[in-house]
Amino acid sequence: MRTARATRGVQVGGKAKRRGRSPVGKCSGLAELLAIMARLRAPGGCPWDQEQTHRSLCHHAVEEVYELVDAIESGDDESMADELGDLLLQVVFHCQMADERGAFGFEEVCRLLVAKLVRRHPHVFGDATADTAAAVWAQWDRIKHAEKAGTRHARASALDGIPRHLPALMKAEKLFKKARKAGLEPERPSARRMTRRTLGTELFELAAQAQRRGWSAEALLRSEIRRRDRQWRRRERAQGSSRSG
């Protein structure tokens, strides 16, 4: 038995508005794609597709994202369209498997996304005002925090919400950004003149030094991330205790 469908309507400005037909709704290719995916998973379909699970496809999704990045950076529109298709395949693949076990389907995923976009853009679909990209981001964060409050997805720390499997450098950037935003890391103006190129050179040289010593720069940075994370969380708890006291 299928689970109840979620997020059937979208509230805009306090009233449920009827959606107009979108370009995606007219895309016969999308319906054909969903039908092909169902056929591949059905009896008599493809043995490889039939044996896949959400977990077995994880690394494929990551690989497709990197290949899309390569296509974007190359400026090759044909490659970009091809890689976007491969990434879309991951979406419909997971939706098909979830549909088979009665969890959710492609339609639910689309409706949840539509509802989220409308909720988090009240300056477009409601009466809020956000005239700059920075104001939009701040508004998005406030709405996201309010949505998760009181749920099992609520974040106890300002440092929560960073994917565990991000590459170390990306994870370090996100963790530092959250720490700065939460006031856990004081601003330290640098006396050195720094450009993007010189910083990139230094980052590469650090990786090269690690390799010369037989060390993994990725593992070293992950270790430092864990240390900083613990340090900032202790500081956050101490600040919370001093405020409450």
Give the domains, in start order, of the chain with CATH numbers.
11-119 (1.10.287.1080), 168-185+193-244 (no CATH)
Contact 159, 179 (CB under 8 A): yes
Residue type for position 150: G
Task: Give the tokens for residue 14.
Answer: 């306090």
Cα(52)–Cα(63) distance, integer angstroms: 16
Q: Dihedrals φ, ψ of 16, to 5°? A: -75, 120
Residues 227 and 174: beta-carbon distance below 8 Å: no
Nearest C-alpha neighbor of 1 from the set 99, 115, 95, 106:
99
SS3 170: helix
Q: 225 with 175: CB under 8 angstroms?
A: yes
How does pLDDT run along the chain (245 residues), one tens digit per residue? 333 333 334 444 444 444 444 455 566 899 999 999 999 999 999 999 999 999 999 999 999 999 999 999 999 999 999 999 999 999 999 999 999 999 999 999 999 999 999 999 999 999 999 999 999 999 998 999 899 888 888 888 989 989 988 999 999 999 999 999 889 988 777 778 889 999 999 999 999 999 999 999 999 999 999 999 999 999 999 987 666 55
